[in-house]
């Protein structure tokens, strides 16, 4: 019998490669209460929305009432045996704290947990699955011993996909039957294409995505690795901007942070800092001009307090700029530079206050950091559950986190939209409380809102 | 109509001081979708267990099926008006990262959010509510401007309660009608006694607990502030122990961490570090001797790898020691020193391996740290929701976190038990995977388990 | 009798305001060997060059053989009594780690050491000595209690001088007789102008410079405060560049660091990092093009190792650019942006290698940091000796450091030139050893050198 | 002709193995002013005392007037050719930040500078030169690639010497002709014994010491590597002690730091912190009791300010304790635990003030840290000059630093005494200024001093 919201029949049902015949080699328990960790089975699920609000934290995420995600964890029986597995790992797109921790976690769980001995590290992103690519690295516990202390990815990365058929050719040539793909939304689209090609060929390759988005904008995934580290380093840059702002008469510190579509890092770093007076994110409609616009707010703030700190996400205020319409190798639209634009506008429009504007763009320093403690824990857990899922024959899915539990989410779901800050929610309310800025910035917007 | 698990009638129902007549001064919205943050109402709840497991993450926490917690947040109408409020804040017990962030958050939200102008900082814990106590500090935004960068508490702290009647006398003498009490389980018991005394007198004082336990052992509260910071600094101490262990032939690094009843810090720091070979926590039954005991495991580890890192929570293995039976001023049982005991036993019992043992106790360095970015965010949110609850006239409750949502939990519930690591759960499974230690240590235990 | 190089008659002779009639209130000793710290007298000096090389470390610094600097320290008799002193402190120019530590050190030594009770903090640099300036801050130990933990300057800063007569008017109007001026070379020129104006008026104001140059380019001063902190944070930015470079195929990380005229920070951060493959400083003649130029070197490096890290001081390679010839408010020539120029040239000229170039400019993050431990020590010592000098009536001088001893150096000497890296010296040799780059870059240069 | 103080004939003359026939392979210059780094020759020296004081900073160091040290640096001709060299590196004694940076620097300069291809890493200190020792590690640039980011020593370490003849047997058996010995005073004594044994056998082995003493107590060496890192981490522990002290009523924070014979770390960390109220070092005579003793001072401090921070070097106040008279494996006298003794005395003797005492011993956390930026620079320079000296055939010497220049100092000189803080000097004066403690503590001492 299938009840409403059952994970198996819902939009969040996860595919498997086939029957699980092999008892798990893990020495876990099926008895609860014996002080030995338990296996998880496929019936274990978590509600998409455990609150009574039926709208909480959605931000671009939708589901039928009662919908559930499958919980991650080691299964008592597996599709693969360790000795039959050739695993491959690829890291794609921009750097993100924790990539090496994820790689290390995958290698450790494959090697020590399941006895897998053939683990390949694909070089420089999807490019390493091309016809004439560099040889993959051979990965084992010695090769990854110290890498969790280093930022970046020992495998290298790159932007942009190759044709799925060329990549699946390479996977098959290398004999890969378990494939871990670590990357952002572009990468997850490439990963889904690989999954479809694999299915079309009837190949038995488990295709697992591990979402890597420093912006935290993958839907149905509460938090992605690297995000907390990014926030903590972004906070340091804000701190520098605050020092610069306070040390000059009518000093303004402007910090541009990552966030193409979603302002999570900007919002969270603002809360961590408590020194920010204005935060602008892609989700927020705002205007510079007009009696309730950003410039007017800044004038008022400076007059009252002689300095101001502004945080702006790179994707904010794009309507103010003449964007080129170009895209980068990942297919992302090239953004116009809102940070420098704000800097110049502040200099010009607030010149009567004799402002000094200091502009900080800490992006590469943030991206290249190693994982902090919270992310190191998270990366390890994520990697372990990814290996459990793969060994169980799960495929076409990503490892997610939902209400602090690790979950399985279909690739098709996570590439369908982007997660965005909910401006009506409590997190953004905390941010507004912290900056003291008005909820809406811009004459017409406010008017419109007042009418609504 | 009352459905099963309704928050208002359940064991988790929260008391209020009376009718809410005053519209909130906060400029929030009652319309969802207008990009302005929303008020929360008392009907908003979250399920205690949103999974299908009905046992997940309990560790000493129990509830009837379908039970729910009330969600925190600003209410559209309040019991108090800001101009009528005299608020007091007290910090009790051992230091914890984030105390000053919580104080600052309370002061900011009271002052800027609700216009409260009389905010008292009680000096040196409950002692400051004694008959001849030091005068409370006057708190305002200037007084707390930079304190979030500092460890400790600007109010001072102490251990141990006073009689509830003496403390309520002081509150009444000072005219306090909103009382925030930040502390651990002993403090929450004192806070509950104050609440009962207030009720017995028919006084209209909102009594709010903000749970502070670096050990993370407060039940029905997913995570307490300071915990993530503690883990991150504990990880650094483990890193030092690892360096010492590797640099000596058969070197052993032993790190003792906080955790009287619960091994959360030890477990999480182990996961953050990835260099720990054995972790011992209060929840774990283990023996040193015997063919499957700790000493035997260490011998095997050293023989294989020439060094070992051991993390032990202060409350672990108390059955091995002659504890005095004494208690400290907070009423906590004085623990025997398991860290030094292990150090000495390793030196003696592994002498044939010519071991070098280095012992590190980083407790005060951990406790005294300022909040890291994740905790700074958390402390601010907690403080804001505590103020919202108080202004709404909620009383006899603590601010909690549950599945990443802030909640209201009755004081009576949180003092009834202690949260403990679930040795059958996935978090402990991750820890075991990371250390490689056997699930059970000690001949009889293992035998017993095999029989079970 | 005057021997050659005597400090009193040399180019490094320091002026004094007049006779010293007041016994020092400091409880120091005039007996060596009694375990009580000793007073210093004016006969105590240090050789400019204690080596047999007579050219060591000069880099733009010249002196007659046997020249000596006067040693700093508390004198047994002083020109001023504490109760007669009104001291003023001004901080000018760009931020530098340690400014607040210097301010705090001055206040502490004035207050606790000499009983000075009138200490003024001039607001926002020399601007605070204008006719209609903001009131100075009143400084005392409470006001500066925590400031050493904060970056920037609590007094504020600005660029650019006012007319000396206007500034001396202000000093006299405020009754200042001890004036501490913290700033870079532009500021020291302003300070010297104030000193001359004071003398012309026959006023008895001690004018003391404390050299603040994150670039470390003040002559006759071995090391300036903030420099070691700057190097340590610059090293972190280089580390990020290295991670970015290694994680991309033919990745190039370019870091632009401070250093208008002198490459000290770039050179030292390169040595601290050990990951830099090319460092370009203002002292170094180089060309991009040609068979031995920078581009050719980079091509060779990338071909051999697939990635490269480049550090460039902001003042390097200005001959390659069309500089505007403009100057900023401090009178410094506006530099063309060599960092972005290099980035663009690498992208264009190395396009055949499919390079990925990441550019990092960490300047404000470096400047705004609080002093690290080594600089905190240094700032305190510098401030104390500055107060001792002022109380003794020394004037028209700066506090320097020479062969690890604090010294008195005439303002006239330090504004006469700039200290520069000695490309023939051992420090630069260490840098070249670390990067592996050729000593000279550019066909003609090398040819010229080969001819020489 | 030999002038007074000539380095070649003084007590600081350095031995060489023999004639230098091989032109250096380094591409350096013999022309000053050509922007190419210069060779150094043996005539280059630096004065022991460049000041006019002839007593400055001696602290246990003595020399004839005009004495000089030989300057380090690459020589134009060498005794060894790279292809003929087998080098060995050993690290002995307690850990110290920077050990791996020194190892890496030696390997890099040997390999890249001189073409040495046989470089051995002796395992676990002198123990690795025993008859049945573990095989040495083969060292090359790949093996040391990332080690400068790690604390400790990849070679391992141990305490205690072996007979010199056994160690020289091993060196000869391994074919070693260049031997680098990194360690403290005990190790330098062992190193000197090896040097004498080598000479007695007429062997041509260059024996070079690199002084490693976190305590900074090696005479004729201004600063040793690891010291600045140690100070910076010690300062963090003091900061924690300060937080603990301030957060309790009459709270006392006690921090025990390294320093068996010399209080450098304690003194410098005190200056870095600015929060210390009492520092006790081995050089300082003091008593606890009596009207001017430590307890009386603490009582006065607490009464005035309600909290106090105390730093004590491990070797301080040994006369107060019943030391066992034992020695450890390095031959160091086992110290009684002054830190815990002070803690207990404060608790007992200040009980009437209801003190709370928190005791922190951060030693292992300090020792195990990786080098900070300043030490990373220093370690690299030291290692390079050590290799230059060895290739030139210098032997029986250590690499030193003197007035910021690298020097050659005979082993015999550095093992003859210990460097100690000069209580009459300016550094200790700064420390006293910072803590505000009286110069002398203890009734009789003060009386004695007053008489003197």
Inter-residue contact B376 to B98 (CB < 8 Å) = yes
| Nearest partner of C22 among C82, C64, C70, judged by Cα | C82
Which of A99, A135, A147, A364 to mutate to test binding with chain C, by most C CBs within 10 Å of its CB?
Answer: A364
Residue A141 sits in a domain whose CATH number is 3.40.50.450
pTM above 0.90, yes or no: yes
Cβ contacts of D368 on chain B, cutoff 8 Å: 239-241, 243-244, 247
Q: What whole-number distance in Å separates Cα of residue A350 and Cα of residue A356?
A: 10
Residues of D within an 8 Å Cβ radius of B: 95, 123-124, 127, 150-153, 156-158, 236-237, 239-241, 243-244, 246-249, 253, 358-362, 364-365, 367-369
Residue A325 has pLDDT above 50, yes or no: yes
How many CB pairs below 8 Å do chains B and C form together? 6
D330-339: long-range pairs with CB below 8 Å, 24+: D330/D93, D330/D159, D330/D160, D330/D184, D330/D186, D330/D187, D331/D160, D331/D186, D332/D186, D332/D260, D335/D260, D337/D256, D338/D256, D338/D280, D338/D312, D338/D314, D339/D254, D339/D255, D339/D256, D339/D312, D339/D314
Inter-residue contact C163 to C71 (CB < 8 Å) = no
Residue C257 backbone phi and psi in degrees, to 5: -120, 165
Beta strands per DSSP E along C239-334: 251-257, 278-280, 307-313
Contact A45 B52 (CB under 8 A): yes
- The reported pLDDT for the residue numbered A336 is 84
User: Which residue in this structure is represented by tokens 């009528």?
Assistant: B84
Q: CA of B399: how far to CAs of A84, A435, B222, C438, in Å?
A: 51, 23, 11, 64
Helix residue ranges per DSSP H, B84-136: 99-108, 114
Instruction: State mean pLDDT over C26-50.
Output: 91
Residue of C nearest to D448 (CA): C34
Contact A156 C241 (CB under 8 A): no
Cβ contacts of A52 on chain B, cutoff 8 Å: 43-46, 68
Residue D413 has pLDDT above 80, yes or no: yes
Q: CA of D126: how far to CAs of D133, D170, D190, in Å?
A: 9, 10, 9
Is B268 found in the same domain as B331? yes
Structure tokens at A276: 């920010």
Is D14 among the domain residues? no
Residues 6+ apart with CB under 8 A from D268: C373, C377, D227, D231, D234
Inter-residue contact A248 to A304 (CB < 8 Å) = no
Contact A423 B73 (CB under 8 A): no
Q: What is the pLDDT of residues C92-107, one digit of tens each?
A: 999 999 999 999 999 9
Q: For chain B, what's the residue count? A: 452
Contact A36 B439 (CB under 8 A): yes
Is A302 found in the same domain as A289? yes
Number of domains in chain C: 2
Cβ contacts of A249 on chain C, cutoff 8 Å: 123-124, 127, 156, 158
Is A109 among the domain residues? yes
Chain center to CA of D122 = 21
Cβ contacts of D148 on chain C, cutoff 8 Å: 274
Beta strands per DSSP E along D333-413: 356-360, 394-395, 397-402, 405-410
Residue of A nearest to D149 (CA): A149
Is B18 among the domain residues? no
Is D255 found in the same domain as D134? no
Output the 3-class SS for D124-168: CHHHHHCCCCCCCEECCCCCCCCHHHCCCCCCCCCCCCCCHHHHH
D189 against B3, higher pLDDT: D189
- The reported pLDDT for the residue numbered D336 is 84
Q: What whole-number distance in Å separates Cα of residue C191 and Cα of residue C386?
A: 15
Inter-residue contact A214 to A230 (CB < 8 Å) = yes
Residue D310 backbone phi and psi in degrees, to 5: -120, 130
Is B436 found in the same domain as B403? no
Is A430 found in the same domain as A400? no
Residue A287 backbone phi and psi in degrees, to 5: -125, 150
Which chains contact A through at least 3 pairs of Cβ atoms less than 8 Å apart?
B, C, D
Q: What whole-number distance in Å separates Cα of residue A337 and Cα of residue A327?
A: 14
Q: CA of C293: how far to CAs of C298, C299, C440, D431, in Å?
A: 9, 10, 8, 51
Residue D234 has pLDDT above 60, yes or no: yes
Structure tokens at B246: 């590797």
Residue B284 sits in a domain whose CATH number is 3.40.50.460
Strands A356-360 vs A394-395: parallel, antiparallel or unpaired = unpaired
B331 against C39, higher pLDDT: C39
Catalogue the active-site residues of D: 215
The band of C303, judged by pLDDT with boundaries at 50, 70 and 90, is: very high
Instruction: State mean pLDDT over B61-87.
Output: 95
Q: What whole-number distance in Å separates Cα of residue B193 and Cα of residue B187?
A: 10
Q: How far is C48 from chain D (nearest CA, A)?
A: 9
Residue A424 backbone phi and psi in degrees, to 5: -90, -5
Is B271 among the domain residues? yes
- The reported pLDDT for the residue numbered C115 is 98
Is A3 among the domain residues? no
Q: What whole-number distance in Å separates Cα of residue A80 and Cα of residue A24?
A: 9
User: Residue A252: which domain range?
Assistant: 227-366+423-451
How many CB pairs below 8 Å do chains A and D form together? 6
Strands D68-71 vs D405-410: parallel, antiparallel or unpaired = antiparallel
Residues of A within an 8 Å Cβ radius of C: 95, 123-124, 127, 150-153, 156-158, 236-237, 239-241, 243-244, 246-249, 253, 358-362, 364-365, 367-369
Determine whether A385 is an active site residue: no
Q: How far is C88 from chain B (nearest CA, A)?
A: 25
Q: What whole-number distance in Å separates Cα of residue A204 and Cα of residue A192?
A: 15
Residue C137 has pLDDT above 50, yes or no: yes
Instruction: State mean pLDDT over C297-302.
Output: 97
Residues 6+ apart with CB under 8 A from A348: none
Residue tagged active-site, from A6, A42, A185, A215: A215
How many CB pairs below 8 Å do chains A and B form together? 195
Is B216 found in the same domain as B68? yes
- The reported pLDDT for the residue numbered A3 is 46
Helix residue ranges per DSSP H, D142-226: 164-173, 185-200
Residues of C within an 8 Å Cβ radius of B: 146, 149-150
Is C341 found in the same domain as C258? yes
Contact D150 A150 (CB under 8 A): no
Is B141 found in the same domain as B159? yes
Residue B224 has pLDDT above 50, yes or no: yes
Contact C150 A368 (CB under 8 A): no
The CB-side HSE value for B258 (13 A sphere, CA atoms) comes to 24
Is B190 found in the same domain as B123? yes
Q: For chain C, what's the residue count? A: 452
Is A57 among the domain residues? yes
Q: What is the pLDDT of residues A263-297, one digit of tens each?
A: 999 999 999 999 999 999 999 999 999 999 999 99
Which of C420, C433, C434, C449 to mutate to test binding with chain D, by most D CBs within 10 Å of its CB?
Answer: C433
Which of B49, B51, B280 to mutate to test binding with chain A, by most A CBs within 10 Å of its CB?
Answer: B51
Judge residue D54's burial from the number of C-beta atoms within 10 Å of its C-beta, 0-12 exposed, 13-18 middle, 19 or more buried.
exposed
Q: How far is B53 from chain A (nearest CA, A)?
A: 6
Structure tokens at B157: 């702290």
Torsion, Cα of A139, A143, A146, A151 (10° steps): -50
- The reported pLDDT for the residue numbered B32 is 84
Inter-residue contact C398 to C208 (CB < 8 Å) = yes
The ipTM assigned to this model is: 0.93
Which of B2, B3, B12, B35 to mutate to test binding with chain A, by most A CBs within 10 Å of its CB?
Answer: B35
Residue D327 has pLDDT above 50, yes or no: yes
Which of B143, B144, B145, B146 to mutate to test binding with chain C, by most C CBs within 10 Å of its CB?
Answer: B146
Contact A429 B28 (CB under 8 A): yes
Q: What whole-number distance in Å separates Cα of residue C52 and Cα of residue C405?
A: 19
Residue tagged active-site, from B84, B169, B185, B215: B215
Q: What whole-number distance in Å separates Cα of residue B263 and Cα of residue B281?
A: 5
Partner residues linked to C16 by β-bridges: C394
Q: What whole-number distance in Å separates Cα of residue C59 and Cα of residue C75?
A: 32
Chain center to CA of A383 = 15
DSSP reduced 3-state for C443: helix
Residue of A nearest to B27 (CA): A439
Residue B76 has pLDDT above 70, yes or no: yes
Which chains contact C through at least 3 pairs of Cβ atoms less than 8 Å apart?
A, B, D
Q: What whole-number distance in Å separates Cα of residue A245 and Cα of residue A309?
A: 7
Q: What is the pLDDT of residues C338-364, one digit of tens each?
A: 999 999 999 999 999 999 999 999 999
Average pLDDT, chain C: 92
Partner residues linked to C256 by β-bridges: C312
- The reported pLDDT for the residue numbered B339 is 96
Residue A450 has pLDDT above 70, yes or no: no
Helix residue ranges per DSSP H, C28-184: 99-108, 114, 164-173
Q: What whole-number distance in Å separates Cα of residue C21 and Cα of residue C129?
A: 31
Residue A115 has pLDDT above 90, yes or no: yes
Structure tokens at C205: 């104001």
Q: How far is B36 from chain C (nearest CA, A)?
A: 34
Torsion, Cα of C268, C271, C275, C280 (10° steps): 50
- The reported pLDDT for the residue numbered B56 is 47
Cβ contacts of B311 on chain A, cutoff 8 Å: none
Residues 6+ apart with CB under 8 A from A371: A97, A98, A100, A101, A148, A225, A226, A229, A378, A379
- The reported pLDDT for the residue numbered B122 is 98
A9 against B95, higher pLDDT: B95
Q: What whole-number distance in Å separates Cα of residue C45 and Cα of residue C14?
A: 12
Q: What whole-number distance in Å separates Cα of residue C18 and Cα of residue B112?
A: 56
Is B250 found in the same domain as B334? yes
Is C404 found in the same domain as C326? no
Residue D328 has pLDDT above 90, yes or no: no
The continuous run of DSSP H or E covering D45 comes out as strand D45-47
Cβ contacts of A150 on chain C, cutoff 8 Å: 243
Is C1 among the domain residues? no
Residue B9 has pLDDT above 70, yes or no: no
- The reported pLDDT for the residue numbered C451 is 40
Average pLDDT, chain D: 92
Residues of B within an 8 Å Cβ radius of D: 95, 123-124, 127, 150-153, 156-158, 236-237, 239-241, 243-244, 246-249, 253, 358-362, 364-365, 367-369
Is D160 among the domain residues? yes
Beta strands per DSSP E along A191-235: 206-211
Structure tokens at B282: 């209060």
Contact A364 C360 (CB under 8 A): yes
Q: What is the pLDDT of residues B311-330, one digit of tens each?
A: 999 999 998 986 566 676 66
User: Which residue in this structure is represented by tokens 């004037």?
Assistant: C395
Q: What whole-number distance in Å separates Cα of residue A104 and Cα of residue A96?
A: 15
Q: To 10 degrees, what angle do helices B264-273 and B426-435 make?
A: 50
| Nearest beta carbon to residue D368 from set B127, B152, B240 | B240
- The reported pLDDT for the residue numbered A397 is 98
Helix residue ranges per DSSP H, D144-275: 164-173, 185-200, 227-246, 264-273
Contact A269 B373 (CB under 8 A): yes
Structure tokens at C312: 């460039």
Inter-residue contact C406 to C72 (CB < 8 Å) = yes
Is B207 found in the same domain as B59? yes
């Amino acid at each position: 019998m299938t009840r409403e919201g059952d994970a198996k029949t819902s939009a969040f049902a996860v595919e498997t490669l086939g029957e699980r015949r092999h008892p798990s080699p893990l020495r876990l328990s099926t008895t609860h209460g014996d002080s030995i960790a338990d296996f998880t089975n496929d019936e274990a699920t978590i509600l998409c929305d455990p609150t009574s609000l039926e709208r909480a934290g959605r931000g671009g995420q939708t589901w039928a009432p009662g919908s559930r995600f499958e919980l991650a964890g080691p299964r008592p029986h597996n599709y693969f045996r360790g000795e039959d597995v050739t695993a491959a790992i690829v890291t794609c797109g921009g750097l993100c704290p924790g990539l090496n921790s994820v790689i290390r976690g995958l290698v450790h769980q494959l090697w020590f947990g399941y006895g897998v001995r053939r683990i390949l590290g694909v070089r420089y992103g999807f490019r390493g699955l091309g016809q004439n690519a560099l040889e993959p690295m051979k990965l084992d516990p010695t090769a990854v011993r110290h890498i969790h202390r280093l930022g970046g990815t020992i495998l290298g990365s790159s932007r942009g996909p190759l044709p799925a058929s060329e990549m699946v050719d390479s996977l098959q040539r290398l004999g890969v039957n378990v494939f871990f793909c670590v990357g952002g939304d572009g990468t997850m689209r490439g990963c889904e294409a690989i999954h479809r090609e694999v299915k079309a060929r009837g190949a038995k390759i488990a295709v697992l995505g591990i979402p890597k988005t420093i912006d935290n904008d993958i839907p149905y995934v509460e938090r992605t690795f690297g995000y907390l580290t990014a926030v903590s380093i972004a906070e340091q840059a804000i701190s520098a901007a605050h020092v610069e702002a306070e040390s000059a008469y009518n000093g303004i510190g402007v910090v541009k942070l990552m966030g193409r579509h979603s302002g999570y890092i900007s919002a969270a770093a603002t809360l961590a800092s408590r020194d920010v007076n204005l935060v602008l994110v892609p989700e927020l409609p705002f205007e510079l001009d007009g009696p309730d616009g950003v410039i007017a707010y800044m004038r008022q703030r400076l007059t009252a307090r002689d300095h101001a700190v502004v945080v702006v996400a790179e994707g904010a205020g794009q309507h103010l700029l003449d964007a080129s319409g170009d895209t980068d190798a990942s297919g992302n639209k090239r953004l116009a530079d809102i940070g420098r634009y704000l800097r110049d506008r502040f200099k010009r429009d607030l010149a009567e206050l004799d402002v000094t504007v200091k502009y900080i763009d800490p992006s590469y320093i943030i991206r290249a950091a190693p994982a902090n403690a919270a992310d190191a824990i998270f990366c390890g857990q994520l990697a372990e559950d990814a290996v459990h899922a793969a060994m169980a024959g799960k495929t076409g899915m990503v490892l997610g986190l939902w209400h602090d539990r690790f979950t399985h989410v279909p690739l098709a779901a996570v590439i369908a939209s982007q997660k965005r800050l909910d401006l009506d929610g409590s997190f953004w309310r905390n941010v507004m409380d912290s900056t003291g800025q008005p909820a809406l910035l811009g004459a017409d917007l406010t008017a419109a809102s007042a009418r609504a």
